[in-house]
Amino acid sequence: MNLILLGAPGAGKGTLASYLIEKMGVPSISTGNILREAIKNDTPLGRQAKDFMDAGQLVPDKLVIDLLEERIAKRDCKSGFILDGFPRTIPQAEALDKIANIDCALSLDVPYEVIEKRMTGRRVCLRCGATYHVVANPPRVEGICDICGDKLIIRSDDQPDVVRRRQETYHEQTEPLIDYYTAQGKLKTIDGTQGIRETEKLAVQALGL
């Protein structure tokens, strides 16, 4: 199955993706993680993306479409993939339709008040992309990634003013995708406010896994 996870920044796409990787046996692709890795390694892509990301804006479509196309051409995506954070604009969705058949867009519905609280406690691993929350989903050892043992960090774009800007960007540019996938008959929506295990259960039901 080729699945898209839709939802505002902080809705829980990354956390649900790590569960679905196991459940579905396919890789998850986070364009945000690929871009953060590129910034960390100071690559040309990272240098082009950094200012947009720090400002809570979207990276230009051309850059992310090219990187996504290259990523899903890899062999591990042949039997399916989960997209976390792509597409984020209508032109990205149209480009994706030309390179892959999407089976389902699963939207995580979470109101802004809940998201704001979640974002302040979020910690991420830059090496493997795992996401934690200091209260709702803490690592076994404080500040250390369970999966790869690297140090956890607070994302630079999780500062309150950037979080607000990212939500505005989401409403303006990404929310129209709800109508886009509804029109294609591919949209499924679940309540993402109910805690991690419950969200996983709702996703499994919605996807018929």
Binding region for ligand AMP (CB under 6 A): 9, 30-32, 35, 52-53, 57-59, 64, 85-88, 92, 157, 166
Q: How far is the CB of 208 from ligand AMP (least distance, A)?
A: 26
**Residue 47 catalytic?**
no
**Residue 13 catalytic?**
yes
Active-site entry in 36, 88, 118, 123: 88
Place of tokens 């979020």: 122
**Residue 88 catalytic?**
yes
Q: Which of 28, 7, 4, 30 is CA-nearest to residue 191?
A: 7
Q: How many CA atoms lie within 13 A of 128 on its CB side?
A: 15
**Residue 118 catalytic?**
no
CB 174 within 8 Å of CB 85:
no
Q: How far is the CB of 174 from ligand AMP (least distance, A)?
A: 9
Q: How far is the CB of 155 from ligand AMP (least distance, A)?
A: 8
* Closer residue to ligand AMP (CB): 37 or 146: 37
**Residue 166 catalytic?**
yes
* Closer residue to ligand AMP (CB): 45 or 53: 53
* Closer residue to ligand AMP (CB): 20 or 58: 58
Q: How far is the CB of 100 from ligand AMP (least distance, A)?
A: 14
Active-site entry in 36, 71, 118, 122: 122
DSSP 58: P
What is the number of the residue whose Cβ is closest to ligand AMP?
32
Q: How far is the CB of 103 from ligand AMP (least distance, A)?
A: 19
* Closer residue to ligand AMP (CB): 91 or 209: 91
DSSP string across 140-162:
SSTTB-TTT-PBEE--GGGSHHH
* Closer residue to ligand AMP (CB): 35 or 106: 35
- With H, G, I as helix, E, B as strand and everything else as coil, classify residue 105: strand
Task: Find the DSSP H helices in the chain.
Answer: 13-24, 31-40, 44-54, 61-72, 90-99, 112-120, 160-169, 176-183, 196-207
- With H, G, I as helix, E, B as strand and everything else as coil, classify residue 190: strand
Active-site entry in 13, 36, 71, 118: 13
Distance CA 6, CA 189 (A): 9
Which residues are annotated as catalytic? 13, 88, 122, 155, 166
